[in-house]
Structure 1
Amino acid sequence: MTTQTQTRTSRSSGATATPRSSTGLAGSLRRTGSLVRAETTLLLRNRTALFNGVALAPAMVALLHFSGAFEAFVGEGAGTSVVGAFALTSLICFALMFVVYYNLASAYVARREELVLKRLRTGQCSDAEILAGAATPAVVTMLAQLVLGGVAIAVWIGLDVPANVLLLLVAVIGGTFVFAALAAASTAFTRTLESAQLSTLPIMAGALLLSGTTLPLTLLPERVQTLAEYTPLHPVAELLTIGLTGLGPDGVAVGLGETFALAAQPLAVLLAWCVLGAWLATRYMRWEPRR
Structure 2
Amino acid sequence: MLKINRLSKTFYPGTEEENQVFNEFSLDIRGEECTAILGPNGCGKSTLFNLISGKIQEDQGSIQLENVNLSDLNEENRARYIGKVMQDPSKGVSPNLTVLENMTIARKKGQKFTLKSLLKNQDKEVVIEELKTLNLGLENKLNTKVKYLSGGQRQSLSLLMATLVKPNLLLLDEHTAALDPKTSQVIMEKTVELIEREKMMTLMITHSLRNAVQFADRVIMLNHGQLMFDLKTQDLTEIELEELYYETINQSLKTA
> TM-score when scaled to structure 2?
0.26
In terms of fraction of residues, the more strand-rich structure is 2
In terms of fraction of residues, the more helix-rich structure is 1
Larger Rg: 1
